[in-house]
Amino acid sequence: MLENKKILITGGAGFIGSNLCERFVAQSNEVICLDNFLTGRKINIEPLLSKSNFTLIEGDIRDFEMCKKAVKGVDVVLHQAALGSVPRSINDPITTNSINVSGFLNMLKSADEEGVKRFVYAASSSTYGDSKSLPKVEDEVGKPLSPYAVTKLVNELYANVFSSLYSIETIGLRYFNVFGRKQDPDGAYAAAIPKFVKAFIDYKSPVIHGDGEQSRDFTYIDNVIQANELAATTTNADAVNQVYNVAYGENTTLNELVPLLRELLTKFDAKISNIQVAHDIGRFGDIKHSLASIDKAFILLGYKPTYTLKQGLVEAIDWYWNDLK
């Protein structure tokens, strides 16, 4: 268990970051949240603002001095700050690069200068690019298919160089389609599951891009929290300075996912059972199939995901129903 440590969580008001903040504040850590609220939401961390062991720093990781201030005296950095979304990166590669690459380098450099021992960062399954092999294995990547994927690959390269040249230990976690409580369903670049759920709740047809046969390894947020905690606390020398897949280890097509969402939501409102699905053209830069091997994370970190897709959806939909209603 990660406890009694001083932890910096960048992007701590975002979906994943705020869940990490909540968990580690509850475990008697001193938690510092750094966020510029470009995509993070203050409502995600509002219950924590009154806690004596929680500090919010409103700042941007593109500001090196701000990064140095945030990492003062910190034991562990959980770096979640990034500008996500493949389509957004295609529309605005400059901003994506400035946050995801320059901001990442600022955080890594400042953490090393301030003597932070462990730097755990959010990597991405998009790094696998055009690789056709399934399941995805950490050392077999393809060519990136979007500016976002390029930035996340560069993060891994920088982390590897820093752990080779300096004293800081780095661990990258390649997230696969994370979903769960506090995930924003609004906006042009919202993730699939919250968008689909909101559409059903609003009695609108959820829109699938393409034929719906694309598959993803959907991963519930509590599995991701577990992986971060293991990465932050491992004492296995072979486990550090590595990159790991963080997923459940099964893939599901969108044509399978959306009826399951409708079925689970019908328990709250029977009228949702009559809502049909709409289709649109496919999105450029998206991969067709994604499925992770989690063997490496199991062997070196002891990672054992505790939530299946359906178990996670049951909890997530309960949260969304109460939040959106």
Q: List, by residue number, the catalytic residues.
A: 148
Task: Tell me how far apart the alpha carbons of residues 19 and 223 are, in angstroms, rounded to a whole number.
Answer: 11
* Residue 287 burial (CB count, 10 A): 21
Cα angle 171, 123, 160 (rounded to 5 degrees) comes to 45
Report the sign of the C-alpha dihedral through residues 164, 166, 168, 170, in that order. negative
Strand duo 252-253 + 215-216: pairing:
antiparallel
Using CA atoms, how far residue 284 sits from 86, 145, 147, in Å, is 9, 9, 12
Q: Within the chain, where are the H helices? A: 15-26, 42-45, 64-70, 86-91, 93-97, 104-113, 147-165, 192-201, 221-233, 254-266, 295-301, 309-324
Tokens 């209603």 belong to 325
Dist. CA 176–CA 191, nearest whole Å: 12
